Amino acid sequence: MRKSLLIVLVTLVLTKVSDAANAACPTFHNFTNGTTADAVAVMDNYNYILQCPNFTGAVGIGMTASNVLDITQNQDAVSYVSLLNTNAGTHAQSVLALKNGTETFNVGQLGHSFGSVGVYQAGYGYLNASTGLALNAGSAPILFGIGSSEIARFTTGGDLLLGTSSTIGSAETLQVLAINPTNSAALFKQTVATTPAVSVWNSATSGDNVLFSFYTDAGSVRGSITYNRSGGVTAYNTTSDERLKNFSIKQQSYRDAINKMWVGDFIWKKTGSPGFGIRAQQAFQYFPEAIAKPATAAGVWQADYGKLAPLALWGVKDLYKTADDQERKIADMQRDMKVLMAQVVELRHVNDSATAKIGKLRAQLDEIPARAGIQTAQN
């Protein structure tokens, strides 16, 4: 019975505490033994205890207190402590403040304009069925941990760090993952040479598998990495839909760029391993579409060899065109030579015929003197 009365009392106390800030405390009256007490004064003291309690020392309800306030109840049901603010306004709140010498940590039921449940210190956070969970740590990061070890954090700049407390600006200290919209969107670090830094698994067993898709702007697809099942190959795709292109422009010649662009063997200075490729700075003069120029002079130049493939294809097609032109010219020359040969044969025939006629004429000429001499002798 005593325990139940104490529970009722603490419920009444907590219920009235929230009203104390909005209503003046009743006057507390001192009574003298042996004198008649005024009923109004007695009720003032009763209401004072309910509305404006001022305890000195530890308070125990249902137990002997060992802390500032200890409440104990033993039952196979919910142990419920109620703090009620009867005001129904949008900013009405019921808040339990936990303080030390410098900090205040608040747990409370926020008003309608805030959310359903609030836990806040300096900033605020709340959980609401319609708006979700909001956390605000003020000027400090939001940390997540297991035991005494931190495993993740949201920085004050909105970066998500997993397994590390350093941002991408200090990439050498990263251990697992950092999602940072200021520098890189995401950075994965792996310290084991034979273990992938990122693994992607599309477990579909039929059709072609999409492994990555790349987007910009409002969600426009710019490229993808896919697995072609029928060919058993991985394809690195970039947008090349002819419906997105205008081809009614003057076509350029890339023969000069191909001739002047250096390509050959080299040795990497850092590793000493051999390589084959172009010089990015030199190639930028002739085919900038394939070269990424760094923002600073100390930055590293990069080449997209995938964009050089169309240039190589153009060069091969140009060689084919040149070869086709040469073949046509050779065919024309061969046809002209056949005509000439036929004319030569014909001329030979004409020459042979003329030679035969000349021979006959010479023979006839040789016969004339002889005939003339015989006639003279006879006369």
What per-residue confidence (pLDDT) applies to 323?
A: 92
Average pLDDT over residues 169-184: 51
Q: Which tens digits make up the pLDDT trace of 313-357?
A: 999 999 999 999 999 999 999 999 999 999 999 999 999 888 988
34-48, 151-165, 204-218, range with the lowest pLDDT: 151-165
CB within 8 A of 202, min separation 6: which ones? 209, 210, 211, 227
Answering whether pTM is above 0.85, one says no
Q: Give pLDDT, residue 112.
A: 62
Could you read off the pLDDT of 10-54 as tens digits, one per residue? 444 444 444 444 557 888 888 888 888 888 988 988 888 877 877
Pairing of strands 233-238, 263-267: unpaired
User: What are 51-105's pLDDT values in tens digits?
Assistant: 787 777 888 888 888 888 888 989 999 888 888 888 888 778 788 877 888 877 7
With a cut of 50, say whether residue 369 has pLDDT above it. Answer: yes
pLDDT confidence of 375, banded at 50, 70, 90? low
Q: How confident is the model at residue 172 (pLDDT cuts 50, 70, 90)?
A: very low
Is there a contact between 58 and 65 (Cβ–Cβ < 8 Å)?
yes
Of 130 and 298, the one with more pLDDT: 298
| The pLDDT of residue 333 | 94
In degrees rounded to 5, what are phi and psi of residue 42?
-60, -40
CA of residue 29 relative to chain centroid, distance: 71
Q: What is the pLDDT of residue 264?
A: 96
- Map tokens 């169309």 to a residue: 310
Of 78, 72, 46, 75, nearest to 60 (Cα)?
72
Residue 180, pLDDT > 70, answer no
pLDDT (0 to 100) of residue 17? 44
pLDDT tens per residue, range 238-289: 888 899 889 999 999 999 999 999 999 999 999 999 999 999 999 999 999 9
The pLDDT value recorded for residue 249 is 92
pLDDT band at 127 (very low <50, low <70, confident <90, very high): low
SS (H, E, C) the chain: CHHHHHHHHHHHHHHHHHHHCCCCCCCCCCCCCCCCCCHHHHHHHHHHHHHCCCCCCCEEECCCCCCCEEECCCCCCCCCCCCCCCCCCCCCCEEEEEECCCCEEEEEECCCCCCCEEEECCCCCEEECCCEEECCCCCCCEEEEECCEEEEEECCCCCEEECCCCCHHHHHHCCCEEECCCCCCCEECCCCCCCCCCCCCCCCCCCCEEEEEEEECCCEEEEEEEEECCCCEEEEEECCCHHHCCCCCCCCCCHHHHHHCCEEEEECCCCCCEEEEECHHHHHCCCHHHEECCCCCCCCCEECHHHHHHHHHHHHHHHHHHHHHHHHHHHHHHHHHHHHHHHHHHHHHHHHHHHHHHHHHHHHHHHHHHHHHHHHHHC
* The pLDDT value given to residue 4: 45
